[in-house]
Amino acid sequence: METSIQNLWQLTCRKSEEEIAKALVSNKRQDYLFGLKQEFARYQFYSTMINDCDKEISAFLEQSTQQKEEVVDDIPDNKYFKR
């Protein structure tokens, strides 16, 4: 356990290795575990939603770049400023 903490511990960390090791020991409180499960489920949900959005955006961009560009003739003329 200590070797993995030593690999993760950085010099900029304010806590000592012993304090980090104590913090990693579980107290198995059910309310904390329930909260962690909820947050993990939320993370998974948003990850799948973001992936779905990325796929839709990619498909839209692929479709729009393959379409023939149409010439737009109905561009309005410049309006002149009147005093």
CA atoms lying within 13 Å on the CB side of residue 41: 6
In this structure, what token pair is assigned to residue 51? 């992936």
The reported pLDDT for the residue numbered 9 is 58
The reported pLDDT for the residue numbered 6 is 60
Distance of CA 49 to the CA centre of its chain: 10
Residues of the chain short of pLDDT 70, as ranges, are: 1-11, 68-73, 83
The reported pLDDT for the residue numbered 1 is 44
The reported pLDDT for the residue numbered 7 is 62
Q: Which phi and psi angles does 78 have, rounded to 5°? A: -65, 135
The reported pLDDT for the residue numbered 34 is 93
